[in-house]
Amino acid sequence: MKDLTIGIIGTGRIGAQVVRNLSGFGCRILAYDLRRNPAVEPQVTYVDFDTLLAQSDVITLHMPLLDSNRHIINRESVAKMRDGVVIVNCSRGELADIEALIEGIETGKIGALGMDTVEGDEGIIHADHRVDILPNRNWFYLHQFRNVIMTQHMAFYTDAAVSSMVDCGIGGICQMAAGESCPTELTGPVQ
């Protein structure tokens, strides 16, 4: 890995941990985020989005899904990447346009994909479809390629993450019952 340039998109809590994990391998680490994380600045070089795309051998996504970043990986961004780039998405499926990923894999522009989540996986990703007939060019079609690894959206499922979810849930209930402000309370309409 010492000869690779890794591009980290999103340097919040999870992206920062990825930076820490990679920093011991001697690879060059580029980062893109709207807000720089001072905790990782000694290990990364913050660059603009296009520079990260053009210079990275591996690109990893670690950001929440917002209207402003939906399909941040699309035909245009894939065209700016190095040939044979590896893309890893353990964040939100809708960050990457599924058609752009399929085209990238089919043409060889994308050398490999690692995805824990993919656009359109809601409600079906945890089912066994190994013997189903593939109906069209969607995420299910994509998983046939030998250079695509898809897991069942389980990146969140660590002991620490589950413990944190339980603590936040119970803590929020207690705060709301006591009439206190709750930072995890949903205040807008739930969709």
Predicted confidence (pLDDT) per residue in 4-15, tens digit: 999 999 999 899
Q: Is the pLDDT of residue 152 over 70?
A: no
Q: Is the pLDDT of residue 185 over 90?
A: no
pLDDT given at position 140? 63
Compute the average pLDDT of residues 150-154: 65
Pairing of strands 85-89, 58-61: parallel
Nearest to 121 by CA among 142, 103, 100, 106: 142
User: pLDDT band for position 130 (50/70/90)?
Assistant: low
Report the range of poorest mean pLDDT among 20-29, 48-57, 76-85, 143-152: 143-152
**Pair of tokens at residue 8:** 């980290």
Q: Are 14 and 62 in contact (CB under 8 A)?
A: yes
CATH 3.40.50.720 domain extents, the chain = 5-156
d(CA 142, CA 87): 14
Question: What is 5-156's CATH number?
Answer: 3.40.50.720
Predicted confidence (pLDDT) per residue in 30-70, tens digit: 999 999 999 999 999 999 999 999 999 999 999 988 899 89
**What pairs with residue 161 in β-bridges?**
none
Structure-token match 């992206």, residue found: 15
Q: Is the pLDDT of residue 137 over 60?
A: no
Task: Note the pTM of the prediction, 2 decimals.
Answer: 0.75
